[in-house]
Amino acid sequence: MKHKIVMDSAGDLHVLDGANFSCAPLKVMPGDREYVDTADANVAEMVEFLREYKGKASTACPSIGDYVEAFGDAEEVYCVTITSNLSGSYNAAAIAAETWKEQHPQGKIHVFDSLSAGPEMTLLAEKIHCLLQEGRSFEEVVEQAKEYLSHTHLLFSLESLHNLANNGRVPGAVAKLAGMLGLRLIGKASDQGTLQPTGKARGEKKVVPELMKHLESMGYQGGRIRIHHCFNAAGAEDLKRSVLEKFPGADVVLSTCGALCSFYAELGGMLIGFEG
């Protein structure tokens, strides 16, 4: 086994067609329940449970051991994590990479801090796979994937910031917006990999036009775009339609959030990763 791509479950991907791919799951823990973010996690049941649940809920990133195991015995490993500014996942993967190198002195490994989440991570994993299929060397893949990441972005629409705020993942001023009923917060991943509010949409109908405005101001011109949603297929389809109206050649793929992204993006949330 020559190459392996490993990504944590914040990338919402369990299989990458044609690639030797492994997902390192994060966990969502409301009270004494535990949802491990694997392909068979019951995300619908979790979201339903969280609607009524008023107690404490936390999340946990993969352990160093989880990562070492996921890296396995490949000759070259490419690992993609959620932003190091909101999770310990990158840190765990970076330490695991050191351990793995001691066990595999001939092996090559690189851990990418996506400074993002969800669909922007997916785009990066797809790019790495594409570069590998082109027969690029380890060094070329790392360099070109980094370059690619500097031109992709993450935009999102959130109906609630409750879980982000309660887990200290957003600054106090942003957390205050969490209680604003009927308001969707539109935001982006900042260059530092933090959540940066950029606008608001009052009511369902305003969301897609607001997202379109942001997409274009962030440089989207009809390239690859991945829309991940938390039980909001209608919103995602609407956005897809608008994107295709404006950019008929766009490569748009819709997908659903896994457990981790569903917990933080919450019901109705949409995450959009795209090429700028």
Residue 158: which residues within 8 A CB-CB, separation 6 or more?
164, 184, 185, 187, 265, 266, 269
Q: What angle do CA 212, 213, 215 make, to 5 degrees?
A: 60
CB 124 within 8 Å of CB 153: no
Partners of 256 in the β-ladder: 229
CB 70 within 8 Å of CB 81: no
Q: Which of 2, 35, 252 is nearest to 137 (CA)?
A: 2
CB of residue 150 to ligand X90, shortest distance in Å: 15
Among 4, 7, 50, 59, binds ligand X90 (CB under 6 A): 59
Binding to ligand X90 by residue 71, rule CB under 6 A? Answer: no
Chain residues 207-246 in contact with ligand X90, contact rule CB under 6 A: none
Site string for ligand X90, 9-48 (x = CB under 6 A): -----------------x----------------------
Helical H segments across the chain, by residue range: 43-52, 64-71, 89-103, 118-133, 138-149, 162-166, 172-175, 204-217, 233-246, 259-265
Among 9, 81, 83, 122, binds ligand X90 (CB under 6 A): 83
Question: With respect to ligand X90, which residue has the nearer C-beta, 156 or 220?
Answer: 156
Binding to ligand X90 by residue 195, rule CB under 6 A? Answer: yes
Among 261, 272, 273, 275, binds ligand X90 (CB under 6 A): 261
At residue 7, φ and ψ (nearest 5 deg) are -140, 145
Buried b vs exposed e over 13-27: b needs ≥16 C-beta within 10 Å? bbebeebbbbbbbbb
Q: What angle do CA 33, 38, 42 make, to 5 degrees?
A: 55
Among 24, 46, 50, 86, binds ligand X90 (CB under 6 A): 86
- Give just the sign of the alpha carbon dihedral 67, 77, 102, 84: negative
Question: With respect to ligand X90, which residue has the nearer C-beta, 22 or 160?
Answer: 160
CB of residue 195 to ligand X90, shortest distance in Å: 4
Binding to ligand X90 by residue 88, rule CB under 6 A? Answer: yes
Binding to ligand X90 by residue 89, rule CB under 6 A? Answer: yes
Binding to ligand X90 by residue 61, rule CB under 6 A? Answer: yes
Piece in contact with ligand X90 (CB under 6 A), picked from 15-23, 35-43, 84-92, 205-213: 84-92
Piece in contact with ligand X90 (CB under 6 A), picked from 44-52, 128-136, 178-186, 191-199: 191-199
Chain residues 163-182 in contact with ligand X90, contact rule CB under 6 A: 169
Chain residues 94-133 in contact with ligand X90, contact rule CB under 6 A: 116-118
At residue 16, φ and ψ (nearest 5 deg) are -125, 110
CB of residue 60 to ligand X90, shortest distance in Å: 5
CB 55 within 8 Å of CB 30: yes
Residues in the site for ligand X90, rule: CB under 6 A? Answer: 26, 59-61, 82-83, 86-89, 116-118, 154, 156, 169, 189, 193-195, 261, 264-265, 271
